[in-house]
Amino acid sequence: MFGLGFQEILLILVIIFLLFGVKRLPDIGKGLGETMREIRKIRDEKKTGKEKEKEKEKEKEKEKENQKGNLISGIKKEVEEIPGLKEAKEIKEAADKVRGITKFLK
């Protein structure tokens, strides 16, 4: 705890006891506890706020990717509908195979 040993903590507690007395110690403890709860609550709210912002950014990125994907798939469909394209692909593949065989024979 903050690099303090047992003796240092005990000395601090004795000084607090002498300064405030026995009657006020419970009130001080209660106030410290409430303060710590509020600090934790604020910290957690900030964390959740940051997490929500990150989630929103991720959702926006996913939407952009989906839009790009839809655009690309639409273009691919249109390109595939071009007359004679499939035949041209098949001819190119066959020519590539022939090139590979002739390179192997040389």
pLDDT of residue 80: 75
Residue 40 CA to residue 43 CA, distance in Å, equals: 5
**Tens of pLDDT, residues 36-46:** 999 888 888 88
Residue 80 CA to residue 16 CA, distance in Å, equals: 83
Confidence of residue 25 (pLDDT cuts 50, 70, 90): confident
**Tens of pLDDT, residues 61-100:** 878 777 777 777 777 777 777 888 778 888 888 888 888 8
Ranges of each domain in the chain:
7-105
With 80 as the cut, is the pLDDT of residue 105 above it?
no
Helix (H, G, I), strand (E, B) or coil at 4: coil
Query: How far is C-alpha 26 from the chain's CA centre?
Result: 43
Asked if 22 contacts 13 with a C-beta cutoff of 8 angstroms, the reply is no
